Amino acid sequence: MKRAGRDKAPTAAATAAAEAEADVRAVVAVVKAVAAATTVQQAVSVALEAVRSQFGWVYGSYWTVEGKGSGAELRFTQESGATSEEFRAVTRSASFCEGIGLSGRAWKARDLVFVRDIAELTDCVRAPVAQRSGVRSGVCFPITAGGAVVGTMDFFADHTLDPSPGRLDVLRSIGVLVSQAIERATEAERQAKAAQDVEAVNAVLRELSKANDPTKAVRFALDTICSGFGWNYGSYWSVDPTGKALHFDQEVGQVGDEFRRVTTTASFAKGVGVAGRTWAARDFLFVEDLAEVTDCVRAPAARNAGVKSGVCLPIIVNGEVVGTMDFFATRTLVMSESRESALRNTGFLLGQALDRIATREKLNVAGRELVISIEEVEKNVVAAGMVAERGRALTVEANDDVAGLGESSAQISKVVSTIQAIAAQTNLLALNATIEAARAGDAGKGFAVVAGEVKELANGTAKATTEVDERVRLIQTQVQDVIARLTQITTVVDEINETQNIIAGVLTEQVAVTRAILD
């Protein structure tokens, strides 16, 4: 009897040692597998396969937490191994709230959970199928990141197991290793996506900087955002002139003829559909599944075409929404903050580009009008110059005429002087005749009368010529004043003409510079 007891102890020790050795091999295999993983999907896949094969499980699956708050639930993501199609089908379609089912309990406990027979879990939708499929024992451990449960990983056997506490501790440790690997891969993917987002935004910026037409700017944005962010389809909607509806404008990508047909014929009022809601909110909008947007006419076509997640961006110019731009994928997406920020930036860049193009067009129109105005002013200046030149010529002619008038006045003065001299001589002769008539007595009375009349005539002539001479001298003075003023006018006209020539030259330069700017 003592010998039997001694034999039994070494056997238990050997079993424990073998299990420990197997656990070490399993841990090493898992570590090697996940260390080489570069993506979350790859890390999950190799972890499922390594754990399942190393510990002899027949089937394993990975579940991720989707949603937030009370709406959060575990959804199937990946699987490994083989079991009945019925069990696989119910697994793929199932979801678990926190505390429900095997996965939900591991989520709530934030610890490994083991069940000898999954059929005993009455709150698990897989329990009835597991019993029919020969699935028995199961284990599930949580996957954490940043202190929060982000998923679970479960494994099942086709027979009943009774793992030792040491084995369960090893599985807990593997859960930690897998969590770290997934968190590392998640961060790597996040950084890669961030770099992709930056490059996509830069590509949008580069393309929009080349655009000089609003239609081309929108096309550049649609093409670049679709390719840079991996969307399957994108469309742009513009607010009609009445400001009452959004109408289809452009599209890129392909997701099915029905979806395209509905899109190109649709219109949205403010607040209706994805585009209308974005218009009303003047903000970025993300929808996980377009088919669930009940007020969107594209929802049924989206369901038929397999269109899932989408985003919509408002395009704002000068504080007003002028359109919206939406993008859709044929897969369900989770929108990260960095991706949302990058997409917001693309909408902002397009708005800036459209504003720049509109401003440039206004400047071009204003510039063309300015050129026309300058040319018109230039024509008027040239015409004014010609008028000034004609005025100068007329002034010169008037100056010559007035100068001639001065010469004529001088000639008149000479004639007046001659007449005055004759009148003086006549008056002297009349005086002599009067004296001689007095000497003659009665015989000279008649001659004396004539001599008196001649004297009066000579005096009248002298008086008249004196007045004429005074008037002629006044005219000569006025003529000199007019000549001086005409000379001044000629000088002023010359200065005006010179100024107009300078203005004409400046206007010509302005036209050339303005045209160069417009070109």
Question: H/E/C letters for each residue in 273-298?
Answer: HHHHHHHHHCCCEEECCHHHCCCCCC
Same-domain pairing of 168 and 253: no
Average pLDDT of the chain, as a whole number = 86
Task: Check whether 395 has a pLDDT greater than 80.
Answer: no
Which pLDDT value is given to residue 4? 47
In a domain, 342, yes or no: no
pLDDT for 264 equals: 95
pLDDT of residue 329: 96
Q: Kindly state whether residues 181 and 33 are assigned to the same domain.
A: yes
Same domain, 59 and 174: yes
Q: Please check the confidence at residue 2 and state whether its pLDDT lies above 50.
A: no
Q: Tell me: pLDDT of 9 over 70.
A: no
Q: What is the pLDDT of residue 431?
A: 75
Residue 460's pLDDT band, with cuts at 50, 70 and 90, is confident
Q: What phi-psi label fits residue 411: left (phi over 0), alpha (psi between -120 and 50 degrees) or beta? A: alpha
For residues 84 and 80, what is the distance between their CA atoms, to the nearest angstrom? Answer: 13
214 in any annotated domain: no
Evaluate whether residue 426 is within a structural domain. yes
Give the range of the structural domain holding residue 23, as residue numbers without chain letter.
Answer: 19-186
How far, rounded to the nearest angstrom, does the alpha carbon of residue 315 sit from its chain's CA centroid? 8
**Of 318, 335, 352, at which residue does a domain stop?**
335
Residue-wise pLDDT for 68-78, tens only, equals 888 899 999 99
Spatial CB neighbours of 380, under 8 Å, sequence gap ≥ 6: none
Note whether 75 and 126 are same-domain residues.
yes
Neighbours of 373 (CB within 10 A): 12
Identify the pLDDT of residue 117.
95
Residues 327 and 374 in one domain: no
Per the DSSP assignment, residues forming a β-bridge with 250 are 236
pLDDT band at 54 (very low <50, low <70, confident <90, very high): very high
Q: Please indicate, yes or no, whether residues 375 and 328 belong to a single structural domain of this protein.
A: no
Q: Could you tell me if 296 and 153 lie in one domain? A: no
Task: Give the pLDDT mean for 196-209.
Answer: 88
Q: For residues 141 and 104, state if they share a domain.
A: yes
Contact 448, 433 (CB under 8 A): yes
What percent of the chain shows pLDDT beyond 70? Answer: 94
pLDDT at 270 over 90: yes
Q: Please give the pLDDT value at position 444.
A: 65
* pLDDT of res. 1: 42
Q: Does the residue 460 lie in any domain?
A: yes
Q: CA-to-CA distance for 496 and 392, rounded, in angstroms?
A: 10
Note whether 159 and 300 are same-domain residues: no
Least confident of 272-276, 304-308, 330-334, 417-421: 417-421
Say whether pLDDT at 427 is over 50. yes
Domain count, the chain: 3
pLDDT digits over 109-160, tens only?
999 999 999 988 999 999 999 999 999 999 999 999 989 999 999 999 999 9
Same domain, 272 and 384: no
Same domain? 417 vs 312 = no
* Beta strand ranges found along 123-206 (DSSP E): 138-145, 148-156
**Largest Cα–Cα distance of the chain, in whole Å?**
219
Range with the poorest average pLDDT among 203-207, 343-347, 405-409 = 405-409
Contact of 133 with 87, CB cutoff 8 Å: yes
DSSP three-state, residue 499: helix
| Domain finish residue from 186, 201, 224 | 186
Are residues 242 and 113 part of one domain?
no
Cα 235 to Cα 250: distance, rounded to the nearest angstrom: 6
**Is 204 within a domain?**
no
What percent of the chain shows pLDDT beyond 90?
51
Instruction: Decide if 422 is inside a domain.
Output: yes
**Average pLDDT for residues 37-43, to the nearest whole number?**
91
User: What CATH number has the domain bearing residue 142?
Assistant: 3.30.450.40
Q: In what order do the strands lie in the sheet with 95-96?
A: 95-96, 73-81, 59-66, 148-156, 138-145, 113-115
Which pairs with CB-CB distance under 8 Å and at least 24 residues apart come from 267-271? 268/237, 269/244, 269/245, 270/244
